[in-house]
Chains A and B, each alone.
Chain A
Amino acid sequence: MTPVPARKHAATEDVISRVLRVGVTASLILISAGTLLSFLQGGGYGGEHAEVARLTGARGAFPRNAAWLFGGLLHADGQAVIVLGLILLIATPVVRVAVSAAAFARQRDRAYVAITLVVLALLGVSLVLGKVG
């Protein structure tokens, strides 16, 4: 039994905990399912030696545009399902920050609303930096 200290944002902790747990579990299910699909479909995963070299290749980036992702998901492509799981996993802590920002806003804690919004803004920068870098 964990005693719950009487605090204003007691519920926020439970919401955050649930967001993290559900996000991680759901994304891991997608990543596992996508891997299984990739092997069943054979495409790329079914081959021999040369395939591993290609799949782990240092050269060349993995396709990462939205068109590839949506196209792949429409065909239930294994690798597209994995990427969807990866995106969900990355989004999980971001949602956690957004939930905290909302909680601080409800408590009218201006300093902490500002701090959490700065973190969210930096996360936005990471998306731009990925495109540029």
Chain B
Amino acid sequence: MTPLGFTLIVLGISYAAGLLGSLVGVGGGIIVVPALTLLLGVSIQKAIAASIISVIATSSGAAASYVSERITNMRLGMVLEVATVSGALTGAYLAAVVSGRWLFMTFALVLFYTVWTMLRPKGHRVEPAPDRLADRLGLHGSFFDRSLGQQVDYRVSKTKLGFAVSYVAGVASGLLGIGGGVLKVPVMNLAMGIPIKVCTATSNFMIGVTAATSAAVYLIRGEVLPFVAAPVAVGVLLGARTGARVMGGLHSGVIRVIFVVVLAVSAAQMLMKGLR
């Protein structure tokens, strides 16, 4: 394979990852890392470093729209960010001391979890219990729900739980080069009582700065190879933009099935690589 061939293949795979990811509501990193390692033989550390760069681009791009549409709960984002950024530091530090085989196995675990969250029936949102911390920090909010055509007020609950889960999501992000939204969003929605659109918007808002934290560590460590990171960043971002544009026009059921199969196969292969 020539360098040009490699660049074009990575660009194509990343574009597909960004497109598929945005159609089913996950980031591109979760497909990019398996593709780079399993298909192209890039080392898992370099694949993770390239992926975390693309995560900044896609999440910041999406966050720009959500913030200007006033869907993001910025105060909540700022509070939980303290946890995700601390987690990202932990994860990026762990990545330097953990061997490649453990990275493969941990990644496989998160992939299996993602498959499970996509297959399980939708959980029930609990009625938010009073939360004094949320009151004191002024976390409750409102947003204009376009599908309902009205302003929706909501109250935030279980702030401490959200903080703990955000830390774990940050560790996963820094360690594995993914956004970590798949870990935070269900808890924010089902346990904290936040409407799903606000969860997605606020999660995206936090992911930018979370990914920037570990990306800075990876860049200074010399793990970010421009040759790999450049086509990944450009491909995933363009794919995600296309996805946002065509969304709704496609039958998402079929895409979900394809996506789940791709993730399950990648998870099994990454697990095998780790166990070998």
Cβ proximity bits B201-223 to A, threshold 8 Å, 1 near / 0 not: 00000001101111111111111
Most buried by A among B209, B218, B230: B230
Contact B226 A119 (CB under 8 A): no
Contact flag A17-B224 (CB < 8 Å), given A5-B142, A31-B234, A35-B231? no
CB-based nearest B residue for A78: B226
Q: Give the residues in chain B near A47, CB-CB below 8 Å.
A: 2-3
Contact A56 B89 (CB under 8 A): no
Contact A79 B209 (CB under 8 A): no
CB-based nearest B residue for A91: B212
Contact B221 A130 (CB under 8 A): yes
Interface residues of A in 56-75 (CB under 8 A from B): 56-58, 60-64
> CB < 8 Å: which of B88, B144, B214 contacts A5?
B144
Contact A64 B230 (CB under 8 A): no
**B225 part of interface (Cβ distance < 8 Å):** yes
The CA-CA distance from A70 to B99 in the complex, in Å, is 33
**B275 part of interface (Cβ distance < 8 Å):** no
Contact B56 A90 (CB under 8 A): yes
CB distance from A35 to the nearest CB of B (A): 5
Q: Give the residues in chain B near A64, CB-CB below 8 Å.
A: 219-222
**B160 part of interface (Cβ distance < 8 Å):** no
CB-based nearest A residue for B77: A100
Contact flag A89-B233 (CB < 8 Å), given A21-B64, A119-B85? yes
Contact A100 B74 (CB under 8 A): yes
Interface size, chain B (Cβ < 8 Å): 69
Contact B60 A23 (CB under 8 A): yes
Bin chain A's interface residue count. 35 or more
Number of A-B contacts (CB under 8 A): 209
Contact B81 A127 (CB under 8 A): no
The CA-CA distance from A127 to B217 in the complex, in Å, is 6
Contact flag A34-B86 (CB < 8 Å), given A94-B209, A112-B75? no
Q: Give the residues in chain B near A32, CB-CB below 8 Å.
A: 230, 234
Most buried by A among B63, B81, B226: B226
**B96 part of interface (Cβ distance < 8 Å):** yes
**A105 part of interface (Cβ distance < 8 Å):** no
Contact A52 B3 (CB under 8 A): yes
Contact B60 A93 (CB under 8 A): yes
Contact A31 B209 (CB under 8 A): no
CB-based nearest B residue for A122: B85
Interface residues of B (CB under 8 A from A): 1-4, 6-7, 40-43, 45-46, 53, 56-57, 60-61, 63-65, 67-70, 72, 74-75, 78-79, 81-82, 85-86, 88-89, 92-93, 96, 137, 142, 144, 146, 151, 208-209, 211-231, 233-234, 237
Give me 24 A-to-B residue pairs in the complex whose CB atoms sit less than 8 angstroms apart, sorted by A's number: A2-B70, A12-B74, A13-B70, A13-B74, A20-B64, A20-B67, A24-B61, A31-B233, A38-B227, A51-B3, A52-B1, A61-B223, A64-B219, A83-B219, A90-B212, A92-B208, A96-B209, A119-B78, A119-B82, A123-B209, A129-B93, A130-B216, A130-B221, A133-B96
Known pairs A46-B3, A51-B3, A86-B219. 11 more at Cβ < 8 A? A17-B64, A20-B67, A23-B60, A28-B233, A31-B229, A34-B230, A56-B43, A63-B222, A93-B60, A126-B89, A130-B218
